[in-house]
Chain A
Amino acid sequence: MSGKGGTGKTTVAAALALALAEEGKRTLLVEVEGRQGIAQLFETQALPYEERKIAVAPGGGEVFALAIDPELALLDYLQMFYKLGSAGRALRKLGAIDFATTIAPGVRDVLLTGKACEAVRRKDRGGRFVYDYVVMDAPPTGRITRFLNVNDEVAGLAKIGPIHNQAQAVMRVLKSPETAVHLVTLLEEMPVQETADGIAELRAARLPVGRVIVNMVRPQVLDAADLELVGSVPRSAVARTLSSAGLGGARRGGHAERLVEPLLAQAEEYAERYALETEQRAVLADLGVPLHELPLLAEGMDLAGLYALARKLRGQGVS
Chain B
Amino acid sequence: MSRRPEPAQDQDPVREHLSPARALEIDPLIENPDTRIVVCCGSGGVGKTTTAAALGLRAAERGRKVVVLTIDPARRLAQSMGIDSLDNTPRRVKGIDDSAGGELHAMMLDMKRTFDEIVEAHADPERAAAILGNPFYQSLSAGFAGTQEYMAMEKLGQLRSRDEWDLIVVDTPPSRSALDFLDAPKRLGSFLDGKLIRVLLAPAKMGGRAGMKFLNVGMSMMTGALGKVLGGQLLRDVQTFVAAMDSMFGGFRTRADATYKLLQAPGTAFLVVAAPERDALREAAYFVERLAAEDMPLAGLVLNRVHGSGAGRLSAERALAAAENLEDSRIVDQPDGKAGLRNSPDTYGSSESPARNVTDGGSPATEDAEGAAPEDGPTESTEPTAPDGSRSVERLTAGLLRLHAERMQLLERERRTRDRFTALHPEVAMTEVAALPGDVHDLAGLRDIGERLAAGGTELPGTA
Contacts and interface: CB of A to CB of B under 8 A. Distances in A.
A169 interface: no
Contacts of A158: 230-231, 233-234
A224 to B, nearest CB: 12
Interface string A227-262: 001100111111111111111111110111111011
B402 interface: yes
Nearest to B218: A90
A73 interface: no
A265 B5 CA distance: 9
Contacts of A99: 191, 196
Nearest to A146: B143
B140 A95 contact: no
A22 to B, nearest CB: 26
A6 B396 contact: no
A78 B45 CA distance: 37
B155 interface: no
Interface in B295-343: 309-311, 314, 318, 321-323, 325-326, 329
A87 B229 CA distance: 12
Interface residues on A, range: 35 or more
Contact of B234 (A94, A163, A221): A163
Interface in B1-48: 3, 5, 43-46
Interface residues on B, range: 35 or more
Interface in B211-235: 218, 221-222, 225-234
Q: Is the interface of B mostly helix, strand, loop or mixed?
A: helix
Q: Is the interface of A mostly helix, strand, loop or mixed?
A: helix
A263 interface: yes
Contacts of B163: none
Given A158-B233, A190-B74, A221-B406, A84 B45 contact: no
A103 B372 contact: no
A160 interface: yes
Given A237-B382, A244-B368, A272-B438, A4 B144 contact: no
Contact of B45 (A6, A162, A264, A276): A6
B196 A237 contact: no
Contacts of B346: 244
Given A6-B44, A108-B145, A256 B371 contact: yes
B172 interface: no
Nearest to A8: B279
B248 to A, nearest CB: 15
Nearest to A77: B229
Nearest to A247: B322
Contacts of A230: 396
A201 interface: no
A242 B44 CA distance: 41
B358 interface: yes
B392 A229 contact: yes
A152 to B, nearest CB: 11
A189 B45 CA distance: 12
A191 B177 CA distance: 20
Interface string A188-214: 111101000000000000000000000
Interface string B195-209: 110010000000000
A245 B325 contact: yes
Given A96-B226, A221-B402, A225-B392, A105 B355 contact: no
Given A35-B176, A78-B225, 12 more contacts: A34-B176, A157-B234, A161-B227, A188-B439, A221-B399, A236-B374, A236-B379, A244-B358, A244-B359, A245-B358, A266-B311, A300-B413
15 contacts: A34-B176, A91-B226, A99-B196, A102-B187, A103-B187, A105-B144, A109-B144, A139-B176, A163-B234, A193-B75, A222-B399, A237-B378, A241-B347, A244-B368, A301-B278
Interface of A: 4-7, 33-35, 37, 40, 78, 82, 84, 87, 90-91, 94-96, 98-100, 102-109, 139-140, 142, 146, 153, 157-164, 188-191, 193, 219, 221-222, 225-226, 229-230, 233-252, 254-259, 261-270, 272-273, 276, 298-301
Interface of B: 3, 5, 43-46, 72, 74-76, 135-136, 139-140, 143-146, 174, 176-177, 187-188, 190-191, 194-196, 199, 218, 221-222, 225-234, 237-238, 275, 278-280, 282, 309-311, 314, 318, 321-323, 325-326, 329, 346-348, 353-355, 358-360, 362, 364-365, 367-368, 370-376, 378-379, 381-382, 389-390, 392-404, 406-407, 409, 413, 437-439, 441
Instruction: Report, nearest first, the 9 A-B pairs whose CB atoms are least far apart.
Output: A5-B44, A6-B45, A161-B231, A262-B310, A234-B378, A246-B359, A158-B231, A105-B139, A249-B371
